[in-house]
Amino acid sequence: MIPGVDGFMYPNEVELQWSVLIVLYPYITGLVAGAFILASLERVFNVAAVRPTYRLALLTALAFLLVAPLPLQLHLGHPERSFEMYLTPHSSSAMAMFGFVYLWYLTVVLLLEIWLEYRTEIVGLAQSTKGLKRWIYRALTLGSYNISPAARRMDERVGYAVTVIGVPSAFLLHGYVGFIFGSVKANPWWSTPLMPVVFLFSAMVSGIAAVMVLYVVCMKLRKTPIDMRCLDTIARYLFYTFVIDFTLEMLDLIHRTYESDESFRSLDFMVHTRLLFSHVILQIFLGTLVPLALLAANQLWRYSEARRKAMYMTAGALTLVGIFAMRWNVVIGGQLFSKSFLGYTSYKMQMASREGLVAAVLLMLLPFAIFLVLVKLLPPWQGGKAHEA
């Protein structure tokens, strides 16, 4: 009798291969993609109401994107060999595109867009600050101090183009992760064409929720009034995205139950036992139904500003937990059952090891530390002028 195993597992299946760090990675890139989509709402889709959160969303995306490769590096048996993905990427492997999509998104989309957005302030700060900060800003100018109106108009136009390219790039950055799981025919919990789409929409939900929560928290800390029109608009888009995400997940569930193929009995049992808390309670009920109800209520009835803030913050926080649970259920859940459909194992999460809980918590806190540095360096509060079409 193997501890933690019920029924029969192939002998090599007992130990889980992908740990909580692999749960963290899609969560983080999901936040990046979602935050960027929110930023693009204003820039490309002309939703002027969310302008106050434009710069905040970009910095959030950058803070999380910088941390994104770290859980992967900690997970690899040989992180020192990870550059091989740049040397000899295997064109049939979705995972091989990670290095290129990541670098593309980081440099050509995010860093370029942030640079173009902040150029005016950077040039100003390069001339007005002293000491180390002066050198940092001077480096960031890349040697150009041209902030004439014509140059700024050029930045505006190029920035628009970058955002337009950025939207499908963000989809690719996170969608390919969904494809990594969705294309594994050996694993029926993962293998579905819906997987990249579900991942993408849940990413957008988590990203929008993250920016919404961060906005309220930052405004509270700075004792600045919150733009309620902005907050209401974000909440509305969160609601729309959530409805699509929920529909897709329910479609997957209904489809599985209806077709009831060989894997169904085993997976169904797993959801009702080993995944009861994380899937049914955390992901579906607390993480989706309750936030949806709170957001839907605000579309039907008008509440006071204080009450709206409380409902949005609750919905946002629950959503963030729920989307993490969704990643957990996909990654960990996909490894808890045997491919023979005759047994189950358990995930023994370690504490202080390279892939343990402590590492996961630190990796989740790191983006916030980076975010603090970024908002000090490139303050998003002024917001600048609204972008012209």
In the block, residue with structure tokens 């936040």: 31
Alpha-helical (H) ranges within 183-227 are 194-221
Which residue in 6, 44, 47, 112 binds other proteins (CB under 8 A)?
112
Should residue 281 be labelled a site residue for other proteins when binding is judged by CB under 8 A?
no
Q: Does 350 bind other proteins (CB under 8 A)?
A: no
Contacts 24+ apart (CB under 8 A), 224-227: 224/381, 226/309, 227/52
Q: Which residue has the tokens 């994380």?
A: 278
Nearer to other proteins, 180 or 294 (CB): 180
CB-based burial label for 11 (10 Å; 0-12, 13-18, 19+):
exposed
- Asked if residues 29 and 110 have their Cβ atoms less than 8 Å apart, the reply is no
Residue 185 to residues 4, 167, 248, 253: CA-CA distances in angstroms?
Answer: 26, 29, 20, 18
> With binding defined as CB under 8 A, does residue 342 bind other proteins?
yes
Burial of 290: CB neighbours in 10 Å, binned 0-12, 13-18, 19+: middle
Among 81, 220, 255, 307, binds other proteins (CB under 8 A): 81
The one segment of 28-36, 41-49, 149-157, 166-174 that binds other proteins by CB under 8 A: 149-157
Considering only 130, 131, 132, 148, the residue that binds other proteins (CB under 8 A) is 148
User: Could you say whether residue 92 binds other proteins (CB under 8 A)?
Assistant: yes
- Quick one: which of 160, 240, 269, 341 contacts other proteins (CB under 8 A)? 341
Does 95 bind other proteins (CB under 8 A)? Our answer is yes
Which position among 27, 54, 64, 98 is part of the footprint of other proteins (CB under 8 A)? 98
What track of x and - describes contact with other proteins for positions 192 through 221 (by CB under 8 A)? ------------------------------
Q: Tell me, residue by residue from 50 to 79, as one string, x for binding to other proteins by CB under 8 A and - for no binding.
A: -------------------------xxxxx
Range in contact with other proteins (rule: CB under 8 A) among 105-113, 197-205, 229-237, 245-253: 105-113
Q: What are the two backbone dihedrals, phi and then psi, of residue 337, each rounded to the nearest 5 degrees? A: -105, 155
CB 98 within 8 A of CB 180: no
Q: Quick one: tokens of 336?
A: 């808890």
Q: Does 272 bind other proteins (CB under 8 A)?
A: no
User: Could you say which of 12, 131, 258, 389 contacts other proteins (CB under 8 A)?
Assistant: 12
Contact 199, 23 (CB under 8 A): no
Type and span of the H or E element at 51:
none
Q: How far is the CB of 179 from other proteins (least distance, A)?
A: 11
Bridge partners for 7 per DSSP: 343
> Structure tokens of 265?
């009995």
Tokens of 5: 């195993």
Q: CA angle, corner 319, sides to 71 and 346, nearest 5?
A: 50
Count of residues touching other proteins (by CB under 8 A): 58
Q: Which of 48, 154, 361, 362 binds other proteins (CB under 8 A)?
A: 154
Pick one of 94, 210, 234, 378: the residue that binds other proteins (CB under 8 A): 94
Q: Can residue 18 be called a binding residue for other proteins (CB under 8 A)?
A: yes
Strand partners, 6: 344
Give the Å distances, CA to CA, from 89 to 36, 95, 279: 27, 9, 35
What single DSSP character describes residue 388?
A: P
Residue type, 2: I
- The residue among 51, 56, 66, 362 whose CA lies nearest residue 218 is 56
Site string for other proteins, 116-135 (x = CB under 8 A): ---x----------------
- Of 46, 127, 128, 146, which lies in the binding site for other proteins, with binding defined by CB under 8 A? 146
Segment near other proteins (CB under 8 A); pick from 167-175, 279-287, 337-345, 355-363: 337-345
Chain residues that interact with other proteins, rule: CB under 8 A = 8-13, 15, 17-18, 75-79, 81-82, 84-96, 98, 107-108, 112, 115, 119, 142-144, 146, 148, 150-151, 153-154, 158, 180, 183-187, 334-335, 338-342
